[in-house]
Structure 1
Amino acid sequence: MIGGIETDWARLSPHVAVVGPDDAAPRPAVLLFHGCGGVQEHLFDYARDLADRGLRVFVVDSYAPRGWSRPYALATVCTGLAFRGPARAADVLAAVWGVSQRSDVDATRLALAGWSHGAWSINELMARDLPPEAEGLLSGVRALGCVYAYVGPGATRAAWRRGAPALVIAAEKDHLASPAQQARAYSSLQALGHEVETWLAAATHAFDQPGVTFPMRRDEAMAAECRRRLAEFFAARLG
């Protein structure tokens, strides 16, 4: 199992962007997982805000290692034809392992944040039955950020087996998942005894992303508020 994780990380690591203080101190780390459209500039807005709070941030690109372009991803991943959440969960686990090996990271203080498809992948990992050697890899995860997670058809309905305090950011006008669906998706996390803080943005799905098209719309004010809330949530739980 660990051998497979190492192989996955070897493929991912050349395409992981690191944002944070320019030092070698072992700092708490936040791993960011993009939506189905791939890495876009808004993730680096989040990364810079988190880095300003002394956190080391890793933006994990799942497409570049596979040679996938944004048009390809929009046509296949965003439509559910390829690379669904359960498959990408392996990237999340590999990234946790790889980042934890770094001397400039405190592996006991990690957070994971995902947007749409990225949050779906995190959810799938948390509900998956893992062998003991992999289970221990997630022990340092102290907080989760789930931003307009995809929780629609095909997403897991299984109860979470592990977790951490979570900030769930839903959108009032999300055409992919209603706020009620979001609440149901995270109910098993609450059943495990973890705090689930929810913020309902008066916006559409992907409200913080550039270049979105109808029915989605970028909302600058909501995007700024989302960044602030996520940074404060992680700083409080990783400090």
Structure 2
Amino acid sequence: MLDTLAHRFSMLEPYITAYGPDAYGTDDAPRPAVLLFHACNGVRPHIHAYARRAAGLGYRAYVVDSFTPRGWDHQAALTLVCSGLALHGYERSGDVLAALWGLAQRPEVDASRLAVAGWSHGGWAIMDLMTERLTRHGEARLQDPTPEPLQGLRGAFLVYPYLGFPARSNTHGWAHRPRTQVILARQDFLTQHSHATHILDHLRSEGVPIDYRVMEATHCFDEDSALHFGPLMAYDAASHKQTEAAFNDFLHTTLG
């Protein structure tokens, strides 16, 4: 059964963590906002660290948990989502749309200046959303998709996004084209580096405003608390620091 936008947001809302320029994110001034979407292993400490970084720069930041509302803990996420058995990017793109829709209605959010950020599976979900016109029943696995929540979307920041099969950017152009900054890992074992650059270069040739930077690192290089698997996923402090700096620059450039 497909959700409505309102129902999907009501499911996600209790599990969205808000950060703001003050200590508790409770001031009511309308401010630009960035929504952060985690990887297939769920919300990890480094995602909250990026959100706190955004808040420290004067923006609102919202960490959107896609798994707890579905009853999945960390182990279930690894078993179901990281394996590809459940919640492909196309389905989770409805979470991105619903979160934008719901949070843009809050008086403390400047709905004309929004950004999204996604890591791995979160990046896949964001990129899949960009390929959907959102005018037909069932798109993004929603009853009532609409492109309206994307009107204020200024940019997308994507860190080692998954671009293998069945990510839609392999076969579909982007119907929505916010300014996009991608951080790639040259030793990414989930998406071959040459394939990722091929897809991004193709999107750029079609007029999508995409820039990308390449880190000499592996998948999940910025997650020092992750369950890593030897050389396939290793923390790299230098690449993490560069990505944090790129995130700062992206927010200033896209949100002002």
TM-score scaled by length of structure 2: 0.89
Letter in 2 for 1:203: A
Distance 1:146 1:33 in 2: 10
Distance in 1 between residues matched to 2:102 and 2:205, nearest whole Å: 30
- Specify the SS of the correspondent of 2:103: helix
Are 1:140 and 2:157 matched, yes or no? no
> For the Cα contact (< 8 Å) 1:141–1:164, is it kept in 2?
yes
Three-state SS of the structure 2 residue aligned to 1:186 is: helix
Number of paired residues?
Answer: 237
Residue type matched to 1:124 in 2? D
Confirm or deny: 8 A CA contact 1:37 1:70 kept in the other structure: yes
Using the alignment, how far apart are the partners of 1:57 and 1:170 within structure 2?
23
Q: Does 1:207 align with 2:224?
A: no
Q: 1:191: how far off?
A: 4.0
Alpha-carbon distance in structure 2 between the residues aligned to 1:143 and 1:28: 12
8 Å contact from structure 1 (residues 30, 113) kept in 2 = yes
Aligned-partner Cα distance in 2 for 1:127–1:188: 14
> Normalization by structure 1: what TM-score?
0.95
Q: Does 1:73 align with 2:77?
A: yes
Q: Please tell me the residue identity of whatever aligns with 1:10.
A: S
Match of 2:16 in 1: 16
Where does residue 5 of structure 2 map in the other structure? 5
Instruction: Decide which of 114, 118, 123 is 1:110's aligned counterpart.
Output: 114
What 5-or-longer segments of structure 1 have no aligned partner?
Answer: none
Structure 2: give runs of 5+ residues left out of the alignment: 137-144
Structure 1 segment 65-214 matched on structure 2, within 5 A: 65-131=69-135, 134-156=146-168, 157=170, 158-187=172-201, 189-209=203-223, 210-211=225-226, 212-214=228-230
C-alpha separation between the residues in 2 aligned to 1:147 and 1:93?
19
**Consecutive aligned runs of 4 or more in structure 1 exceeding 6 Å deviation:** none
Q: Residues of 2 paired with 1:66 and 1:196: CA distance? A: 32
Q: Cα distance, 1:134 vs. partner? A: 1.0
Tell me the secondary structure at the aligned position of residue 102 of structure 1: coil
User: Aligned AA for 2:69?
Assistant: P
Query: Tell me, what secondary structure is at the counterpart of 1:175?
Result: coil
Shift of the alpha carbon at 1:223?
Answer: 1.0
Cα RMSD after superposing both structures: 1.5
